[in-house]
Amino acid sequence: MTKGQPITSPVHSDKTPEIEKWFRSAIKADASDLHLKVGMAPKFRIHGKLINTTGDLLTETRAEELIFEIMSEEQKQYFMENGSLDFAYQVGDMDRFRINAFRQRGFISMAARHISGRIPAFESLHIPPVVEKIAEHHDGLVLVTGPTGCGKTTTIASMIDHINRSRACHIVTVEDPIEFLHVDKKAIVSQREIGIDVPDYEDALRSMMRMDPDVVMIGEMRDNETLTAAMRAAETGHLVFATLHANNASQTIQRILDLFPQEERDLARQTFAMTIRAVVSQMLLPGIRPEAKRIPAVEILIRTPIIRKLIAEKRESDIPTAIRAGEGEGMQDFTESLRKLVQEEWIDLKLARQYAPNVEELDMALKGIRSAAAGIL
């Protein structure tokens, strides 16, 4: 949220809001999202597909009653003036919903993402074991990237939980809103929510280093001020996690540099090359096994001397080749990830070819042929 936007705490009263029955139904149905729109019945997104419910068609009055009931007066005023509002709502002790209320064609609508308080273990996420090792570093910048809904927040939550269970340290998160709730285990976890605990990201980042953190999680990289603060923390011996909307490791680097004015990019590039620890890029695919209806394909870049050299020398075009050459060090590209998912029968071949960055490369990889990784030094 931006500075001055109303607080994002859920409204509490003696009466349970009526919309909560839809939230609980979504949890029971294992839905990732709940959608409310005037003129249609509520819909769930289950395993990536929108599913109709048996609810009544929503009238304008009914939709406003359901959504406004969980807003404070301050939030309602902000929504009426701006036409959209992001906030979170707690259901029971373990589940939250990240809510976006918005107007379309003059009517109120809502999209609510279910965030379980049960932080999944690495094994249940089906992400490469090297991601757990990345979380065991004590400094550097770790970026988890991908499109909306690809599981970035869940992956970082699992990495934070791994640190929380294994290391005596202070973890500070800055989130908008808080999604997964971390209970102190071996570590102390201080979670700051924009709009409730601190007015905005700027204020949160300014005071962050005074909190004596060892590990920092900054929701999303939104501008060069946020990135500069993250790299400065990484430079001074902190492990920093953040998310970014980018499709792969190479695009992540370009997106990072694009956050800076042209005259600052050379310095930003050198700093980024020194501070980046890893980039974990994800896309979430429909699975074919009953126990994994959604399965991530994962590209992993790890800062090796070669990767650092390529970033510093503006040779992003050589990074895909370097990732293939670095498979022995835990790196992998999307082609290799898709190959493994097909051969281990997590996804079908048709789907893998649909999502492959290069279909011919995937077909060759499935035959045991990988292109040479030469000429990158």
- The pLDDT tens digits of the residues spanning 319-369 come to 999 999 998 899 999 999 999 999 999 999 999 999 999 999 999 999 988
| Partners of 242 in beta bridges | 143, 218
Confidence (pLDDT) at 356: 97
Residue 371 reports pLDDT greater than 90:
no
Helices (H), the chain: 20-28, 60-68, 73-82, 122-125, 130-134, 152-166, 201-208, 224-235, 249-258, 265-275, 305-312, 319-325, 334-343, 349-355, 359-366
| CA pair distance 260, 267, nearest whole angstrom | 10
Edge to edge, the sheet with strand 84-91 lists 49-52, 43-46, 33-37, 107-116, 95-104, 84-91
DSSP strand E in 78-214: where?
84-91, 95-104, 107-116, 140-145, 170-175, 188-193
The CB-side HSE value for 295 (13 A sphere, CA atoms) comes to 24
Range(s) of the chain covered by CATH 3.30.450.90:
20-116
Cα dihedral 142/147/151/155 (nearest 10): 0
| CA pair distance 202, 228, nearest whole angstrom | 11
Task: Please state which of the ranges 76-80, 149-153, 247-251, 367-371 shows the lowest mean pLDDT.
Answer: 367-371
Q: How confident is the model at residue 6 (pLDDT cuts 50, 70, 90)?
A: very low
Over range 297-312, report the average pLDDT.
Answer: 97
Say which CATH topology domain 20-116 has: Beta-Lactamase (3.30.450)
Q: Does domain 122-332 sit in CATH 3.30.365.10?
A: no
- Per residue in 7-66, pLDDT (tens digit) is 344 444 457 899 999 999 999 999 989 999 999 999 999 988 899 999 999 999 999 999
Confidence (pLDDT) at 361: 95
Q: How confident is the model at residue 3 (pLDDT cuts 50, 70, 90)?
A: very low
> What is the DSSP-derived secondary structure letter of residue 7?
P
By DSSP bridging, strand 239-244 and strand 215-220 are: parallel
Give the type of residue at 119.
I
Average pLDDT for the chain? 91
Which of residues 38 and 96 earns the better pLDDT score? 38
Residue 194 reports pLDDT greater than 90:
no
Range(s) of the chain covered by CATH 3.40.50.300:
122-332
Over range 191-202, report the average pLDDT.
Answer: 87
